[in-house]
């Protein structure tokens, strides 16, 4: 196996708080190990269109507390084609980059897997997404911050919900995974979470109404995971209007504010540990793996497993929301 002398680092897909802490950790751990570092701009776009710059230790000063990503992120169509990846490989060769650290979600890691296999390149991934929807890891970078942002927002919505005695449907992100909605509901004391994982099991809205939640309360907050199949919170509000017109339902879509803000301490720590481990992994000869966590320990997760969407939502947690909302 060829010796690694220079690594490229990029952030791809949706931005997530803590990506900067990860870039910092990757850069500094690489320099500590006498490797050259190249920062690649706008995800795979920067590889295909040669937008890169050499990074020193100072390039990543004062960013651990910043949301977003200093490398920028993008979705790059060209990289999904063999021609685009050939250009990316050529640019990598010319810049002397012999390994990559890719920080992103399942799409980004799927791209990394294909690229690594096609050109026999060592690539290590970091789970950078607020959705927490990657396989083989308990946590992803950005999830904890987004969860805290949701809780802060729902606390505010509760004030108006209580004053007006209304039912509020608060839509949160999640990319077809219910982690943000479910844990957001537990943390904010919401009356219910409506998540894609339960969609085929029960009529979650009907169940909530039939529970008669209004008997003991004058207002309710329901966290709804985004879901094109049901139309999310707006789709449910329409159903309430048609099927349960006695309820005065309002919709709040939290949207992109969930992605922003300074990362929490937990996300900074996770990103820093995972970033440093990515360099250790590459130097150990690991390739085609994502750094994950299992029960508090860092683990290597093959890309094939990381990108397989397998929700580990605990049905017992759904019960907790119900039990605690009586």
Among 75, 87, 211, 239, indicate the residue that binds ligand ATP (CB under 6 A).
75
Site residues for ligand ATP, 97-156, by CB under 6 A, read: 104-108, 110-111, 114, 129, 131
DSSP letters spanning 175-208: TT--HHHHHHHHHHT-SEEE-GGGTTT--HHHHH
CA distance 90 to 50: 10
Token representation of residue 71 = 């490398």
- Least Å distance between CB 277 and ligand ATP? 20
Nearest to 42 by CA among 68, 65, 76, 16: 76
The smaller minimum CB distance to ligand ATP, of residues 108 and 325, is found at 108
* 131 catalytically annotated: yes
Q: How far apart are CA 36 and CA 166, in angstroms?
A: 57
**What minimum distance in Å lies between the beta carbon of 173 and ligand ATP?**
9
87 binds ligand ATP (CB under 6 A): no
Which 8-state DSSP code applies to residue 2? Answer: P
Residue 23: C-alpha distances to residues 51, 166, 167 (Å)? 16, 44, 42
Residues 10-29 that bind ligand ATP (CB under 6 A): 12-14
Min CB(170)–ligand ATP separation in Å: 20
Binding mask 195-234 for ligand ATP (x = CB under 6 A): ----------------------------------------
3-class DSSP state for residue 307?
Answer: coil
**Catalytic-role residue among 15, 98, 131, 133:** 131
Which neighbouring-strand residues pair with 192?
222
Site string for ligand ATP, 31-50 (x = CB under 6 A): ------------xx------
> Mapping DSSP to helix (H, G, I), strand (E, B) and coil, where does residue 242 land?
helix
Interacting residue with ligand ATP among 80, 262, 280, 286 (CB under 6 A) = 80
Compute how many residues bind ligand ATP; rule: CB under 6 A: 20
The closest alpha carbon to 194, from 139, 142, 234, 137, belongs to 234
- Residues that bind ligand ATP in the complex, under the rule CB under 6 A: 12-14, 43-44, 75-76, 79-80, 104-108, 110-111, 114, 129, 131, 175
Q: Which residues are catalytic?
A: 131
């Amino acid at each position: 196996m060829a010796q690694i002398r220079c690594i490229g680092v990029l952030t791809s897909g949706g931005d997530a708080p803590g990506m900067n802490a990860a870039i910092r950790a990757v850069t500094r751990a690489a320099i500590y190990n006498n490797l050259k570092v190249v920062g690649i701009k706008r995800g795979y776009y920067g590889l295909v269109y040669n937008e890169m710059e050499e990074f020193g230790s100072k390039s990543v000063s004062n960013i651990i507390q910043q949301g977003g990503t200093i490398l920028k992120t993008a979705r790059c169509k060209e990289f999904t084609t063999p021609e685009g990846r050939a250009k990316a490989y050529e640019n990598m060769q010319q810049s002397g980059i012999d390994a990559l650290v890719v920080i992103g979600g399942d799409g980004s890691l799927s791209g990394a897997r294909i690229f690594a296999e096609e050109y026999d390149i060592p690539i290590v991934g970091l789970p950078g997404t607020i959705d927490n929807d990657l396989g083989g890891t308990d946590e992803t970078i950005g999830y904890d911050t987004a969860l805290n942002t949701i809780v802060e927002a729902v606390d505010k919505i509760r004030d108006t919900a209580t004053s007006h005695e209304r039912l509020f449907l608060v839509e949160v992100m999640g990319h077809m995974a219910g982690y943000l909605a479910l844990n957001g509901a537990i943390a904010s004391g919401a009356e219910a979470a409506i998540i894609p994982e339960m969609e085929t099991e029960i009529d979650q809205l009907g169940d909530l109404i039939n529970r008669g939640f209004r008997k003991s309360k004058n207002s309710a907050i329901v966290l709804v995971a985004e879901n094109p199949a049901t139309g999310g919170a707006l789709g449910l509000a329409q159903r309430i209007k048609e099927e349960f017109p006695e309820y005065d339902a309002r919709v709040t879509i939290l949207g992109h504010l969930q992605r922003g803000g300074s990362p929490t301490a937990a996300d900074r720590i996770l990103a820093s540990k995972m970033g440093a481990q990515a360099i250790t992994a590459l130097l150990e000869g690991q390739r085609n793996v994502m750094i994950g966590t299992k029960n508090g320990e860092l683990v290597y997760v093959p890309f094939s497993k990381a990108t397989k969407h397998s929700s580990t939502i605990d049905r017992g947690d759904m019960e907790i929301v119900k039990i605690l909302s009586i």
